[in-house]
Amino acid sequence: MMTNPTGRITQGQFSFLPDLTDEEITAQIDYGLRKGYAWSVEYTDDPHPRNTYWEMFGMPMFDLADPAGVMMELQACRKTFPNHYIRMMAFDSTRNVETIAMSFIVNRPANEPGFGLVRQETNGRTVRYTVHSYATDQPEAKRY
Amino acid sequence: MNKPHEPGSTEIAEITDKKKRYSAGVLKYRQMGYWNGDYVPKDTDVLCLFRITPQEGVDPIEAAAAVAGESSTATWTVVWTDRLTACDSYRAKAYKVEPVPGNPGQYFAWVAYDLILFEEGSIANMTASLIGNVFSFKPLKAARLEDIRVPVAYVKTFKGPPTGLIVERERLDKFGRPLLGATTKPKLGLSGRNYGRVVYEGLKGGLDFMKDDENINSQPFMHWRDRFLYVMDAVNKASAATGEVKGSYLNVTAGTMEEMYRRADFAKELGSVIVMVDLVIGYTAIQSMAEWCRANDMIMHMHRAGHGTYTRQKNHGVSFRVIAKWLRLAGCDHLHTGTAVGKLEGDPMTVQGYYNVCRDSVTKTDYPRGLYFDQDWADLKKVMPVASGGIHAGQMHQLIDLFGDDVVLQFGGGTIGHPAGIQAGAVANRVALECMVKARNEGKDILNEGPDILRKAAQSCTPLKQALDTWGEISFNYASTDTSDYAVTPAVA
């Protein structure tokens, strides 16, 4: 159990809101598609704030224009990884943007133990900090 | 026959007594080649738009030619040594003059400068030319540099933002919503230990950034090293508590470059993702700090301390849109650009113009927003605008409608002054932000439905309800000073 006001990891666009329903997720996907973004589904059991590369559940869906198709991919990912973190990512290929335009979590493990802070005392009062994920003490796929 | 009329001249009194002779001195500029109504600006010219208020009896075209002259090669009299040079290249050319709508006595003067007049990659050089002497020039009652077009050829000599808003988002892993920040308050007097407490509470509660204020440097109540050490403990603790990358702008502004580098190095050693400087350190120091940030993977936050002394009054000074252009070229990643709805000066459309300057790939001419030229940024990185000063969660719909996603919204008092504490203040702001982004994406008309959307979200979020009950009706509804000359733009209440 994490002690921040939400009691959970707060990455992504909507972590402070009640979990989005499938209908609400569909509305966000639709918004992204109308903006010309390509959606992608990613999952992980290592949600460290600097773990950039979550696993890709297939390729970004560049040519898919129907939110229902994107939702099918999400459902397939949820079925395969029911206890992993899953996020929806939208890519914008516009010149001078060419990065992620939307990102929000749509699946979480039932229990989120969170992170500890390891302080290594060094010279003088300087401290080196390590954010340590309790879950990653276990091997991959056995963390949640 | 001319008499010298430069500041400090012993013959000032004589000239003011001899008005006709004085006017003849101004006429000279026109005769010397600083006015050319048929001139077609080259793609490589620097173009400036000045707002000028000529003295009584001074013809506007003559005044415009004088501005061109005094900001390029001219002096008060003819010098034969001009003839040793390709002098026509060096003369700036006023090429258009128009009355300012609704402001009798004021004129817009367009002036073109050949690229040869400027040193590559130096804001100090560009500003020394364009605003060096001319603003003290006596035949003008007042002058203001309204806008500037920097040609692509010159843009490419600047490195621009060290990180840029795209890469900043990738480093922070935050997309699709404005970032949230708060300035630690009170701005003066907290010890390092107490200061870090505020930072920790704000970040753990849901903010992305906390911020030193512009005048927090290293005063008797808090040595800078003490602040950095406590703040970074707070930042890392909050990161572990939330699973998010967090930051706090460590202000490294100091009396010398050597001391600024020393402080920045310590910020880096402690693992900070961001450092901060104040505009008052000057353009050359800013360009040097940008170099340091590029070499050290650091985001650079710019607080525009002092700008109001020369940007606010419409008749004299330099518009902030010009300052924003210079700062994008010089290189900063965050820039305070106004809120339109908060406690500080800012007409909404004029402020939107500043945001465009920071974030556009090509800024298009847009008179109502005060943009008088097309500006191609030649793929230069983009600056993240920062809205800070007297804003609160109850204005979230207005802020997102005005500024979109690529902005840092900073609620200082609106976080720390929350009746249930700093974490509650942060929660209120984050929930307000997320529910409004979600609603906008769902196709809701947030500008009109915003208050209802907030009230609905507050039903399941007590901190947001408390924030709305405390500040919901607060607005700073004063008329702006620096407004568009081409649109009627009432303040946003």
Does the pLDDT at position B162 exceed 50? yes
Chain A, chain B: beta-carbon pairs less than 8 Å apart: 127
**Residue B9: band (very low, low, confident or very high) from pLDDT cuts 50, 70, 90:** very low
**Tokens representing residue A8 in the block:** 């959970």
pLDDT tens digits along B345-400: 678 999 999 999 999 999 999 999 999 999 999 999 999 999 998 899 999 999 99
CA-based nearest residue to B247, from B192, B167, B336, B180? B180
Question: What's the mean pLDDT in B340-345?
Answer: 76
DSSP codes of every residue in B245-266: --EEEEE---SSHHHHHHHHHH
Task: Give the strand pairing for B408-410 and B46-54.
Answer: unpaired
- Looking at residue B32, what is its pLDDT? 82
Question: What's the mean pLDDT in B107-127?
Answer: 98
Question: What's the mean pLDDT in B337-349?
Answer: 83
**Residue B488: band (very low, low, confident or very high) from pLDDT cuts 50, 70, 90:** low
Residue of A nearest to B461 (CA): A17
Calculate how close chain A gets to B161, using CA atoms only, in Å: 13
Contact A49 B244 (CB under 8 A): yes
pLDDT tens digits along B246-269: 999 999 999 999 999 999 999 999
Distance CA B76, CA B82 (A): 13
pLDDT tens digits along B60-109: 999 999 999 999 987 767 777 888 988 889 999 999 999 999 999 999 99
**Tokens representing residue B451 in the block:** 């208050």
Contact B243 A10 (CB under 8 A): yes
Provide the mean pLDDT of chain B: 91
Please report, rounded to a whole number, the percentage of residues in chain B having pLDDT higher than 70. 91
**Tokens representing residue A137 in the block:** 């003490």
A27 lies within 8 A of chain B by CB: yes
Contacting residues of A for B206, CB less than 8 Å apart? 4-6, 10, 16
Q: Answer positive or negative: Cα dihedral of A13, A17, A19, A23.
A: negative
- Looking at residue B137, what is its pLDDT? 86
- Looking at residue B28, what is its pLDDT? 66
**Residue B14: band (very low, low, confident or very high) from pLDDT cuts 50, 70, 90:** very low
Contacting residues of B for A100, CB less than 8 Å apart? 169-170, 175-176
Q: Which of residues 43-72 of A touch B (CB under 8 A)?
A: 47-50, 52
Contacts of B305 (CB under 8 A, 6+ apart): B214, B215, B278, B279, B280
Contact A49 B382 (CB under 8 A): no
A85 lies within 8 A of chain B by CB: no
Q: Which residue ranges in chain A fall short of pLDDT 50?
A: none
What value of ipTM does the predicted structure carry? 0.97
Contact B338, B387 (CB under 8 A): yes
Contact B177 A11 (CB under 8 A): no
**Tokens representing residue B258 in the block:** 């050597």
**Residue B6: band (very low, low, confident or very high) from pLDDT cuts 50, 70, 90:** very low
The amino acid at residue B130 is: L
**Residue B17: band (very low, low, confident or very high) from pLDDT cuts 50, 70, 90:** very low
Contacts of A20 (CB under 8 A, 6+ apart): A14, A28, A104, A106, B438
Calculate how close chain A gets to B380, using CA atoms only, in Å: 9
Contacting residues of B for A120, CB less than 8 Å apart? none
pLDDT tens digits along B122-135: 999 999 999 988 89
pLDDT tens digits along B425-477: 999 999 999 999 999 999 999 999 999 999 999 999 999 999 999 997 776 76
- Looking at residue B358, what is its pLDDT? 98
Cis amide linkage into residue B162, ω under 30° from 0: no
- Annotated catalytic residues of B are 185, 303
Question: When comparing pLDDT for B490 and B137, which is higher?
Answer: B137
Contact B175 A24 (CB under 8 A): no
pLDDT tens digits along B280-323: 999 999 999 999 999 999 999 999 999 999 999 999 999 999 99
At CA B32, angle to CA B27 and CA B36, rounded to 5? Answer: 90
- Looking at residue B19, what is its pLDDT? 43
Q: Which of B166, B361, B443 sits opposite A99 (nearest CB)?
A: B166
* Beta strands per DSSP E along A1-126: 38-44, 55-56, 85-92, 99-107, 115-121
Q: Which of residues 95-124 of A touch B (CB under 8 A)?
A: 95-104, 114-117, 119
Residue of B nearest to A113 (CA): B241
